Structure 1
Amino acid sequence: MVASHYATASTAEIVVSILELLDRNTDREHGITAVWIADQLGVTEKTVRSHLHTLQAMQPFGRKIGRIERKDLEHAESADPRPGWYIEPIFDTAQMRLLTDGVVLSRSDSDYLQELIAKVYAFAGQSNQLGAFGKISTPRNYNREFLNNIELLNDAIVHERTITFRYCTYDVDGTLVSRKDADGNVKSYAADPYRLMYRNGKYYLICHMHQHDNLSYLHVERFRDLSVNESDHSLMRKLDSFNPEQGAPFDWDKHMGKRPYPMDGKAIPIHLRIKNTLEPIYDWFDTAQVTRLDACTYDVWITANEKATLWWALQYADDRIIEVLSPPSLRDTLRRDGEYLASLYADVERISTVIDAS
């Protein structure tokens, strides 16, 4: 809409245009003046100021409209801060970083991610900082169905629809290939999808695969030929049926808090002794019960999946700070794994012979 049109524009058109100018040209360190807005729209400064004060009181779309004064810019980070009227960004800087970092974790197409991140920065009024984010590369073995699969899975979860799919593993060169049965036939799967979740740098679908009795945790980037049942509420099992407390709703946070790595199996009480630091405990287990025994030793109880705790404990083995006291089954597994590793790496002469022969 050109400025000459505004002589006959309706109040609604002028207000919308003011909002558009604020949205395109302002952030917390850059304002625009009523005089400049009036000049852009070809209306009087008095008209613009009247609408600005009304918008300030209304907070349209839940976004604050106000004035940036020179004193507010004393500690501005941008090179060219500017006082004037502004509209609050949709996202603040912290929200922007969380969203963009989450986007990068998805391991998706680089061009798509760059475009999406640019939109997030624009909504946060930080487009001038976009270059600092750096270049994003498409993963070498990127699944080109990934983005479409996200859309389909979200639809299936919302409408409680079953899904069918092929599931991939890696070939020797790292490419994704469909799983096959013993006869060489590609396997097909059916599942009830419940939730998409990031965990340990992977994007998971938590679901009930129809051939199993328990929950499964599948990597979303490994789905191929995904299709969604067209009928709502077609799930074989509802999520709440997996709650050990029958009749109670399934608690996601409680469930995942007992699994440092997403995997099936019951969570059981596990007794630990840890030395020098509690970071390995509280970085992974929010609800741990800890008692200090002396200046550098702690008695710890957690409720966790046994297999996941095995993996968790092994990653700290080199630090020699964690001892599993119970259950005996977990101690026995750690002992057997230790014996295997000791035998695997003890024979230095054998390894040298293998290397020389190759």
Structure 2
Amino acid sequence: MKYKLSDICEYAKGKIKVSALDENTYISTENMLPNKGGITKAASLPTQEQTQAFMKNDVLVSNIRPYFKKIWYATFDGGCSNDVLVFRAKDGVNSRFLHYVLADDTFFDYSMATSKGTKMPRGDKKAIMEYEVPELSYEDQCKIAGILEVIDEKIELNTDINKNLEQQAQAYFLDLFVTNPDPNWQSGTLSDLGTVVGGGTPSKKHPEYYIETGIPWITPKDLSIDKSKFISRGENDISELGFSNSSATKMAAGTILFSSRAPIGYIAIALNTVTTNQGFKSVIPNTNVGSAFMYFFLKQALPTIEGMASGSTFKEISGSGMKSVPAVIPDDETLHKYNEFCQPLFEQQAILEAENRRLSGIRDALLPKLMSGEIDVSNIDL
């Protein structure tokens, strides 16, 4: 037997004054992370006097394309935009179980299929409540939630460790190169530190240019979906034929991928040889400069780069603009010291990101099996 979603939850109602919120307690589609990744700090607060309220243990789901598959289990009270749906478990329903019902890809597929609108489709709130969910006892709900929560807690722990490692590396960068730079260092440009490389897109008219396993090809969309620091491939690979018939360039592991438009400033480090589309101005650091320094240099220089961009519809930084970004050129000894410090930190971050990808895959594979009853939890003793 199946329930409807309306049998286990309801849309939360209520308003909260914007003046009672800050960047950490306001949630919008923009600061919800993709692929069920939780939330980050909001860039700004809304201008209206009041906004939608939510409570701890509510489930927040982004309800506008292209921001589907964004979900967060609330860990505090706060406020959110109207493009975020707030679900509240009814009495006798485990709120964490509700979270996993809504985190199932089947739910997101259903929401997209029943969405309304052409330019920016939104999920149909009435149709969403018609979504079918399994009829499970409260005990079994708790068991399912418990199994999946263990995986999510490990992912969260790994993420917290990586944030700490990132803070260490960034703090040392700021100390060496921003707060206390050597006054004898010479002024120069980004081109003195590395080689700026553009990308290209093989013609979509030739399906043979795109294959399942070929040369990794990265687009800004890939970095918008996967917020990892390190990347090995994107959604699509290109064939050698596609590569040879495009302006794409092969770049070695350690290259810093930097999106140059729509938006400017997605940054990731290549784990292996990759190519990109033309939405990047990536940087291959000079051997003495190293990936760690270049990665944090670009993060630090982002406001300058954005200020050098031009364009009416979409701002873009050109190749010549990237090459001319002002830079101080540190001595080789200091660069070596910094990269030596960062190497074990970066290696650990890459390991933990890979583990999180595996754990996410396991969770997402288990989720529909647990919900459908394919895996029977009634005899599991947690």
TM range (shorter): under 0.3
TM-score, normalising length from structure 1? Answer: 0.20
TM-score, normalising length from structure 2? Answer: 0.19
Report which structure shows greater RCO (CA 8 Å, sep ≥6): 2
Q: Which protein is bigger by CA-based radius of gyration?
A: 1
